[in-house]
Structures are given as structure tokens and as C-alpha cells.
Amino acid sequence: MTRVLAVTNAYPTPRTPGIGPYIERQVSGLRQIGLEVEVLFVERQQKGMSAYMGLGSQLRVLVRKYKPDLVHSMYGGVMANVVTRTVRDRPVVVSFCGSDLLGEVLSGYLELGKPLVGCYRTLVSMYGVRSSYRAARKASGIVVKSKNLQDALPPDVDRNKVRIVPNGIDLERFQPIEKKEARRTLGWPEDSGVVLFVTAGGDPRKRLGLAREAVAKATTNGDVVEFRTMQGVPHEQVPVWLSASDVLLLTSFHEGGVNIVKEAMACNLPVVSVDVGDVRARLCGVRQCAVVDATPDALGQALRSVLLCRERSNGREYLQDLTLVAVAERIKQVYARALENGRL
């Protein structure tokens, strides 16, 4: 049985139930197919960058204790750099998920009137991206969530050791619920159109302002359309929010593999999105979905079309290759090659 030490800086806790559920799902999938996985949770959200100060020592202790066959850093940045620098006697696999390779967006903070915060975040993210580059060069294997993340790797990183493996979806948890039932559960009115937008602490990368403008364009004829933002919702409640909505709106400046889009597809919720991350490829052929230009007019028109139609999508049909077990098997192949060759 392959033993894995998974290192992550995002994991659901009672205090932050909405952070890192995709990591929890991935660990669950790996365990379902017979791998033995221990998790080292680095509390970056609570401790900031200081969380990484003792990480090297923690790793050495846990490697001696658990004797894993390999170590998997489930995010890039400073954490992955520490992991690949510390663990040199066995393979290390690194997953890159988005901002760890793409960085922050200074212009978004300027639009929010937070130039100092933006400058600080941009500098921190630049350091994180450089750390990701160093980790990618040292890693035995690399998992990226989408092709644009593969393209963002430094040119001197051997692409033979890179695999594109999106995050899996728990199709037992994410199932369509009848819309009226979901709205009764949440206490929402039954007759209004609902555009759902997912944000995280005012992250400017999500472009909340563009989303609001798009919804305003979609409601110029006096239709009753509610713009609802979802933030910090416990993961078990997310399918209810998705099922209660009429359309998911995504306006992000950049993304990797977009988990909420796949979760919406699993609930047959239509999606209107800008062309970001893997969204265009993921929505190809899915009914009642649109990928359009990042302008209020284009997004508003697409939203209006979906809201007038009031039909669900058939997105669930397109997710059979992304079950937790299917994705875990693909990651297991990455592990096997890393263990066999020390690299892919």
C-alpha cells in the first residue's frame, strides 16, 4: 500500500468550513482507492506567512514518524518550496491550483480603492509565484488543474513530469434538488430570478463590480432578478444554494480549474462565464451555458437569455470522468511514475 504525506494550507475546519473542501475530497478519493494518506495541515489562514517558519522541522518529524513513500504538496507557493527543499530522500509531487502560478491582480485592488493593500498583496504573490517556480523545478511530479496553469510553468520545467488533473466532484453530495424545495430551505422567494456569484473575502480577482454591472444589464426591463453572493457557506449546503439559483455567474480575471463551475454542472445549474481557466472546455456542449466576453453587455445578454428560458442545464452528464475515484486513480498514476523513476 502506498503511503502518502499530504501537505496542505487549505482544509475545512469548524472555524473555516468553506476553505479547502476540494483538498478534503481529494484525500477522501485517494483513501477510497486504497492509499494510506496522512494530512499535515499548515494553518496559513490563521497564522499568515509565519505558518511556514517551522514547516521544515514539522516535515522532518512526520517523515520519520509515518515513513511515507512520497510527499504531496497540494498547493504551490512558499509551502511547496519548503516541502521540495526539505524532503530530498523520496519523491515529492506538487499540485498547482491557480494563484500559486498566476499571482494577484493589482488593478483589482486599485478599483476597490485599496492601493496599499494591492501593492502588498502583489509583492507577496510575486514571491509566492517565484517560490512555485523553484518548487516546480525540484518536484518529481507536477499536477496542474488546467492547461493555462501548465502554460504558466517556467519554460525550463520538463513538461514530461506534468499532468493535467482537475479536482474531482463528489457526485453523491452534489445532486440536483428541486428548485422550489431548495428555496424553501433557504427562505428565498419562489418567483424571482436568482443570479448566484461566489466570492471570497472581497477577492478582487473575482471582479464583483463587473458581475453587478452584468446583472444590471440583464434586468433593464424591470424584471425581478436577485443578485446573491455565496461566501463562507458550509460545503454540505452548497448544493442547496446551487439548486435554488437560476444561473451561476463567473467573472474572474484568472482561475485554474474552477471547482464551483463543476459543482454547478453536477446540480444542472446553468453557467454564464468569461473565458477563464478551464471553463470553456468544461462547458463545451452543455446546454443553457455561455462563455462570453468580459463586458457587462455580453454577460448581461447571456444572463438574460438563461433567465428567460428558465431551464436547467445537462451539465451532470459531462462529469463522469471527474468522480472522486476517477480523479484519485489519475493521481495514483502520477505517484506510481514518480516512485518508479523519481520523476515522470
Q: How far is CA 70 from CA 39, 120, 164, in A?
A: 12, 35, 19
Q: Is 168 helix (H, G, I), strand (E, B) or coil?
A: coil
CA 90 and chain centroid, separation: 28
* Domain covering 3-168+323-341, topology: Rossmann fold (3.40.50)
| Biggest CA pair distance of the chain | 66
Contact 288, 311 (CB under 8 A): yes
As a whole-number percent, the residues of the chain with pLDDT over 90 amount to: 69
Q: Is 272 helix (H, G, I), strand (E, B) or coil?
A: strand
Partnered with residue 95 across adjacent β-strands are 143
What is the model's pLDDT at position 258?
Answer: 87
pTM equals 0.87
What is the model's pLDDT at position 106?
Answer: 47
Q: Per-residue pLDDT averaged across 263-274, rounded?
A: 97
pLDDT confidence band for 190 (50 / 70 / 90): confident
Residue 201 has pLDDT above 70, yes or no: no
DSSP 224-238: -EEEEEE-S--GGGH
Q: What is the rounded average pLDDT for all residues in the chain?
A: 89
pLDDT confidence band for 114 (50 / 70 / 90): low
pLDDT tens sequence across 16-54: 777 788 899 999 999 999 999 999 999 877 776 777 888
Whole-angstrom distance, CA of residue 261 vs CA of residue 273: 9
**Closest CA relative to residue 174, chosen from 60, 282, 263, 300:** 263
Q: Per-residue pLDDT averaged across 146-174, rounded?
A: 94
Residue 224 has pLDDT above 90, yes or no: no
Pairing mode of beta strands 271-274, 247-250: parallel
Residue 65 has pLDDT above 70, yes or no: yes
Q: What are phi and psi of 105, to 5 degrees?
A: -120, 105
Residue 110 has pLDDT above 60, yes or no: no
Residues present in the chain in total: 344
pLDDT tens sequence across 161-179: 999 999 999 999 999 999 9
C-alpha cell at 234: 458550509
The class (CATH top level) of 179-321 is: alpha beta
| Residues 129-146 as b or e (16 or more Cβ within 10 Å = b) | bebbbbbbebbbbbbbbb
> What one-letter code names the amino acid at 289?
C
pLDDT confidence band for 111 (50 / 70 / 90): low
Pairing mode of beta strands 70-73, 141-144: unpaired
Range list for CATH 3.40.50.2000 in the chain = 3-168+323-341, 179-321
Contact 190, 181 (CB under 8 A): no
What is the model's pLDDT at position 112?
Answer: 54
What is the model's pLDDT at position 344?
Answer: 46
Residue 134 has pLDDT above 80, yes or no: yes
Residue 98 has pLDDT above 80, yes or no: yes
Residue 145 has pLDDT above 90, yes or no: yes
State the helix-helix crossing angle for 21-32 and 324-341, rounded to 10 degrees: 70
Q: What are phi and psi of 25, to 5 degrees?
A: -65, -40
